[in-house]
A = this chain, B = another copy of it.
Amino acid sequence: MGGHAVDSDTVFSNYQAVTSKTFVVSLMCEFIGVMVFTFLGSTVSDKVFGPWVNGLALAIWIYTAANISGGHLNPAVTFSTLICGFYPLIHSILYIFLQIVGAIFGALLVAALIPDAHVSMGDGAPGCFDNTVIGKGLTHSQLFGWEVVMTFTLISVVYACGVAKPGHGSFTPLVVGLSLVACAGTGGKWTGAALNPARVIGPLAVFKCGNNVAYIYILAHLLAAVLACSIFAFVSGWGPLSPFQSM
């Protein structure tokens, strides 16, 4: 699959050699996409718009990045496609690195453009996933469970619409975004609805918030990535880069 031209049918399947300009551009897209997505999603002051701003900002940046980088914009998505054999190791590591750097810059932008926000302000800063956003009475196990179910939903949508053939073509970014709207519309009240390790790490790095719970979110995202990959592999087979491919 490597080295192919852009395949407009499957927005999550194109990549080029790591040293190519195309790949450098892909990294730039992941960086910018996660940065602006993190910024817009972190600054919503009216709860009525929370799920919508996050879901639609994700959708529009996936649309923007889709034909260049595939529009992962989420380390959990990249990790899942890596272990399922749809994306190579070095590419994935670089993607995840740029996604996290993008989220950090997004959080810095929040600190710069929101009055009264400043770096290292601790729990309660805009866009943080910490005890101020976790629902009353929710145990750590329940927090973990919620993030697993929601992230599993989002990554399953990515596989079924964007990786499988026939998928749903240019519907994919919209459907992925709407899956975040649906999850955040209910789970937002319980966990803040992260569904994305970069969204947890960016604000943590900039605002020093959520230190004591960040690992729960991230482990949940990684478990969901494994689950979604496992089910997709059972349903549709492993990716072309998987060692299981030849079994």
Contacts and interface: CB of A to CB of B under 8 A. Distances in A.
Oligomeric state, in copies? 4
A60 B67 CA distance: 22
B43 A187 contact: yes
A186 interface: yes
A56 B156 CA distance: 15
Given A43-B186, A45-B186, A29 B60 contact: no
A138 interface: yes
A244 interface: no
Contacts of A222: none
Interface of A: 6, 8, 25, 28-29, 32, 36, 39-41, 43-49, 51-53, 56-57, 59-61, 63-68, 109, 112-116, 135-139, 142, 145-146, 149, 152-153, 156-157, 159-161, 164, 166-171, 173-175, 178-179, 181-183, 185-187, 189-190, 231, 234-235
A64 B161 CA distance: 6
A47 B142 CA distance: 22
Contacts of A64: 156-157, 159-161
Secondary structure at the A interface, as helix, strand, loop or mixed, is helix
Contacts of A57: 153, 182
Contacts of A68: 160, 235
Contact of A60 (B45, B173, B179): B179
- Residue of A8, A113, A115, A190 with most partner-chain B CB within 10 A: A113
Contacts of A61: 153
| Nearest 5 interchain pairs by C-beta | A115-B137, A49-B185, A8-B166, A56-B182, A64-B160
B63 A175 contact: yes
A17 to B, nearest CB: 17
